[in-house]
Amino acid sequence: MSILDNRPALKAGIDKVAEVAGYLWMKGWAERNGGNITVNVTEWVDDRMRAMPAITGALAIGKTLPQLKGCWFYCKGTGKRMRDLARDPMANGSIIRILDDCAHYEIVADEPVAPTSELPSHLSVHDYLLAKGSPYRASLHTHPIELVALTHSKKWMEKDVATRMLWSMIPETKAFCPRGLGMVPYMLPSSVELADATIRALDDDYDVVMWEKHGIFAVDTDIMSAFDQVDVLNKSAQIYISAKNMGFEPDGMTDAQMKELSDAFGLPK
């Protein structure tokens, strides 16, 4: 028996998380328990599920997040591996409901899998997105190798320098990551400061934010779309590195070619 039984929409949403978790492992972006996924699954929760008893007591989020009242989330479990989540999402993650005080949650799932230690920061982002009226329901953190390598040079950490280079490698990157890549300087993982800086970068009109010498954080309507944005950016970083390995600096598309693309596809930047 699983909470996903007879809930095809919820099951399809969780299956998508498992599929993405498998891709993260295959790409080499998810060593050990690296990375996190949280998805706002509220729209797929039915009345019978709302009435279900929790399998844990109330647990503190560590923050009060007023927009999350009555919301439900799927969260990767703390210490769990993406490659295991890909096989069995309900043994390596859980579904939580936010209590009415907006400061506590309880687990309503198959097993009492404690959510990621990054829960307060991920939920803060979801709270920010809902406050803004955003349709985005998924957040992803992972360690894409070539993009992380870029952040080890100060040059690429300057605002929109990496964005311009990545967009210029192949037209699809600008089309499918149209807001570009925000940059957040190194901060302690899991810290409130890192969560706040991430939200400031999202608010500066990015869907994808790079954490210096660590990884990437992406938001989108669903988890597959968040993954796709990271995937196209990392493809561009790989093309750049391939050209450098062949011994030359790639020309990149011109500013005029990128403007033409923005006009033709109605891109925001």
Q: Please, what is the end-to-end C-alpha distance for the chain in angstroms? A: 48
Task: Indicate which single residue of 215, 226, 231, 237 sits in contact with Zn ion (rule: CB under 5 A).
Answer: 215
- Tell me how far, at minimum, the Cβ of 143 lies from Zn ion, in Å: 6
Q: Closer to Zn ion at the Cβ: 13 or 215?
A: 215
Q: Give the DSSP letter string of 89-139.
A: TTTSEEEEEE-TTSSEEEE-SSS-PPB-TTHHHHHHHHHHHHHTT----EE
Smallest gap, in angstroms, from Cβ of residue 88 to Zn ion? 22
Structure tokens given for 181: 């890549």
Contact between 42 and 71 under an 8 Å Cβ cutoff? The reply is yes
Q: Are 41 and 138 in contact (CB under 8 A)?
A: no
CA 211 to chain centre: 12
Name the residue with tokens 């996190």.
36
**Is 118 an active-site residue?**
yes
Give the x/- contact pattern for Zn ion in 18-57, rule: CB under 5 A.
Answer: ----------------------------------------
Minimum CB separation from Zn ion for residue 187, in Å? 12
C-beta closer to Zn ion: residue 115 or 215: 215
Phi, psi of 203 (to 5 degrees): -70, -20
DSSP code, position 221: S
Write out the E strands in 46-122.
59-60, 72-76, 93-98, 104-107
- Residue span binding Zn ion (CB under 5 A) among the ranges 70-78, 191-199, 208-216, 242-250: 208-216
Q: Which is nearer to Zn ion, 215 or 252 (CB)?
A: 215
Instruction: Quote the strand ranges of 25-137, DSSP E.
Output: 36-40, 59-60, 72-76, 93-98, 104-107
**Least distance between Zn ion and beta carbon 142 (Å):** 7
Q: Report how many residues bind Zn ion under the rule CB under 5 A.
A: 1
By the 8 A CB rule, do 219 and 121 touch?
A: no
Q: Is 87 helix (H, G, I), strand (E, B) or coil?
A: helix
Stretch that binds Zn ion, among 85-93, 113-121, 209-217, 232-240 (CB under 5 A): 209-217
Which lies closer to Zn ion via its Cβ, residue 35 or residue 252? 35
Closest contact distance (angstroms) between CB of 178 and Zn ion is 25
Quick note: the x/- pattern for Zn ion over 161-200, rule CB under 5 A, is ----------------------------------------
54: DSSP letter: P
Q: Which stretch binds Zn ion (CB under 5 A): 57-65, 154-162, 207-215, 224-232?
A: 207-215
- In the complex, what is the shortest distance from the CB of residue 81 to Zn ion, in angstroms, rounded to a whole number? 13
Q: Bridge partners of 37?
A: 140
Give the active site residue among 19, 31, 106, 118: 118
Q: Please compute Rg for the chain using Cα positions.
A: 19
Name the residue nearer to Zn ion (CB basis): 144 or 215: 215
Interacting residues toward Zn ion by CB under 5 A: 215
- List active site positions: 118
